[in-house]
A and B are shown apart, each in its own frame.
Chain A
Amino acid sequence: MRDPEKTILSPLTETGLGYYLLAGLLLLVIMWGLWAYIFQLQDGLGVTGMNRPVFWGVYITNFVFFIGISHAGTLISAILRIVGAEWRRPFTRAAEAVTVLSLPFGAISIFVDLGRPDRVLNLLLYGRFQSPLLWDFTAVSLYLFSSIFFFYLALIPDIALCRDRLTDISGFRKRLYRLLALGWRGSNEQRRRLERVIGGMSVFLTLLVVTVHTVVAWVFGMTTQPGWHSTIIGPYFLGGAIFSGVGAVAIVTAILRRTFRLEEYITPKHFDYLGKFLVALSLAWFYFTFAEYLTTLYGGEPAHMSVFWAKFSGEFAPLFAGMFIFCFLIPLPILAIPRTRTILGVVIASISINIGMWLERYTVVVPSLTRPRLPYELGAYSPTGVEWSITAAFFAGFFLLYLIFAKLFPVISIWEIKEAEEVEERPAEPERGWDILWEGRQEG
């Protein structure tokens, strides 16, 4: 009988040199990005490549991208929990961490894009609910706080475990665990209460996740810009978000599995399921993309066709083709063929998907702006070093926060794994109909 606690808790007390080196490198990248931002604050947004008519560029792309990948955590954790998919158990925490840690970077992306960040409180003082940006602000803030709360709830039993089991840690950490454990003793009463709140939050988050990326899409959809003003844009962005998010979770989980020797808990079978899920999402993404561009082409409206050709044969063709290759042509065969749907295959496909999805966001934002209805002039956009530095800093920041999370808390939900094992060890009960569907229970 293996002891999950020992394996999963060991990273919290043992740290190798690699950890410090990586953290140091990431910190350097963040400092570089911070310096770039200070430069931007001093000189103005003119240090970026944005202009008239391309008023939005890389920063807004990052905003949509980071909010997008945050959706997987909720999906895997909340939605799969609701439908009782047992195979989610080993990576719900890692997935929720992706959500909690990527959302702030989405919010910071907008902040970095503001001409007057010193006036950001005006959003609270004078906020107008007629504006899609304020729907965004509300939805994303609500999603962020709810996700943090949900993440914390599911962490409580494991924090209590850390409080009780970890002895070789600093006094500060001991106190932290004691404080955050909220006196958890694992009694039936406490468990019942926790399950109820988590169940309720799962439903709430599932509903919220649909709203969040839809309103992000509506920032574009509610304008009359050709290429943006599409009725399908809400579901399109939502599907794309879940797509890139599940890919991100696959990458993160694979890295954690290798680094922390979690091979027993996160098996190739789990990646098999993730891979199949990604196939479905890739096809859904393709369907939305196809529907969008076919209707544009068929309608033939001049302003829309201008944007269409910019993407298909104009200066954005390489990026647009790249998007299609990375989102669809590369990952689909890898994931659809069982022989290549290994852990490595799923990771390669996921990296490809995330590159493709970043390109997708970019080719949604920029080409439409380069072909405005008036002033009859072609716009152009070339992101500058400042924008790339800040983008790099965001990615580095995400990974660094993840490193810190992995050091403070177990990356696998120990109590949920134990709960599944208890269910298995109980005397046989008549199997509920839908249990048979989910063959993804862990092998004992």
Chain B
Amino acid sequence: MTRWGMVIDLDKCVACQACTAACRVENNVPFAGPEQDAMGRSIWWNEVFRYIEGEYPNVTLRFIPRPCMHCDDPPCVKVCPVDATYKDEEGIVVQRYERCIGCRFCTVACPYGARYFNWFAPRWPEPLDQALNPDPEVVPRPTGVVEKCTFCIQRIRKAKEKAEAEGRPLRDGDVVPACVQTCPGTTRSVKYRN
């Protein structure tokens, strides 16, 4: 049974935010704008947190890239009243946008703050609206639903289809989420175990 995992080497991360940007482009994450961002309305499927350890003059800055952790025992899945979020057999916590009623219980239950809500209908200013990913699996979500990192499930499906077409099993390196692909410092890699 395939189970997906991602390894993020925190010693190598330089917080360049390439993963954050790539994820947004790949997954058609809506634009918020400076005013809405100041209110805390931006959607970041992947975020890189920084926190300061120690007191001056012995301070260290630590970076924590935070995609969805696809928890083994997801608190978000437990609290969804309509089964709009669930953990599939391969370990990915999936979101059903068409079923979500927008109660935001899952967003409040997530200890990582990995879930986001569409406060408005999605929009992109020009010329960003020309750069949307045409993949139907990442069609922009409507207002009022919750979204989060999906481990680039659309890429997993494409890789599986390709492997099947070529008559071979899935191999290491076939599935490359956007953040992994873009990371310049080989900080991220995807493993799968069978």
Contact = CB atoms under 8 A, between A and B. Distances in A.
A209 B112 CA distance: 35
Contacts of A116: 100-102, 144-145
Contacts of A133: 79, 81, 103, 105
Contacts of A222: 78-79
Contacts of A225: 108-109
A224 B75 CA distance: 8
Interface in B94-125: 99-105, 107-109, 111-113, 116-121
Contacts of B41: 46, 51-52
Judged by DSSP, the binding face of A is loop
Contacts, number: 134
A53 B75 CA distance: 16
A87 to B, nearest CB: 42
Contacts of B146: 115
B83 interface: yes
A46 B120 contact: yes
B34 interface: no
A115 B81 contact: no
B66 interface: yes
Judged by DSSP, the binding face of B is loop
A55 B79 CA distance: 15
Nearest to A126: B82
Contact of A45 (B51, B81, B119): B119
Could you say which interface size class chain A belongs to? Answer: 35 or more
B143 A44 contact: yes
Contact of A115 (B99, B111, B145): B145
User: Which of B41, B81, B99, B144: most chain A Cβ within 10 A?
Assistant: B81
Interface string A32-57: 00000000000111100111111110
A223 B104 contact: no
A375 B40 CA distance: 12
Interface in B5-43: 36, 39-42
A224 B144 contact: no
A389 B75 CA distance: 33
B144 A223 contact: no
20 contacts: A43-B120, A44-B144, A46-B41, A49-B39, A51-B119, A52-B107, A53-B113, A113-B104, A114-B103, A115-B100, A115-B118, A116-B102, A119-B101, A126-B82, A131-B79, A132-B105, A133-B81, A224-B111, A374-B113, A375-B113
Given A45-B144, A128-B83, 16 more contacts: A46-B41, A52-B42, A54-B40, A110-B103, A114-B102, A115-B143, A119-B82, A119-B100, A126-B84, A130-B79, A132-B79, A223-B109, A225-B109, A373-B113, A374-B113, A380-B40
Interface of B: 36, 39-42, 47, 49-51, 64, 66, 75, 78-84, 99-105, 107-109, 111-113, 116-121, 143-146
